[in-house]
């Protein structure tokens, strides 16, 4: 299985194997999941944020770290 940043998380293919729709990349999907976890646990984890941009940056950082680990 491929785990690169721009690999589709949920591709839809036709009967002959051509990809019809790409949807979110795995990076975008993993970042969304990380963002969800951060938002739910605000105040209960070790991350400290001054603004929403920092929260988004942390979500992308976590997604990139997960992809890096999965590629090993």
Q: How far apart are CA 1 and CA 15, in angstroms?
A: 20
Q: How far apart are CA 14 and CA 61, in angstroms?
A: 33
pLDDT band at 42 (very low <50, low <70, confident <90, very high): low
Helix axes 52-70, 26-40, angle to 10 degrees: 130
pLDDT tens column, 19-38: 666 678 888 999 999 999 98
Per-domain boundaries in the chain: 12-70
- Give the residue carrying structure tokens 């941009």: 53
Report which of residues 46 and 49 the model is more confident about: 49
């Amino acid at each position: 299985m491929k785990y690169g940043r721009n690999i589709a998380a949920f591709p839809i293919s036709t009967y002959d194997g051509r990809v019809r729709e790409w949807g979110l990349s795995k990076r975008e999907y993993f970042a969304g999941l990380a963002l969800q976890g951060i938002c739910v646990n605000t105040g209960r984890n070790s991350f400290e944020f001054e603004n929403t941009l920092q929260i988004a940056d942390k979500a992308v950082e976590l997604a990139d770290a997960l992809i890096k680990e999965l590629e090993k």
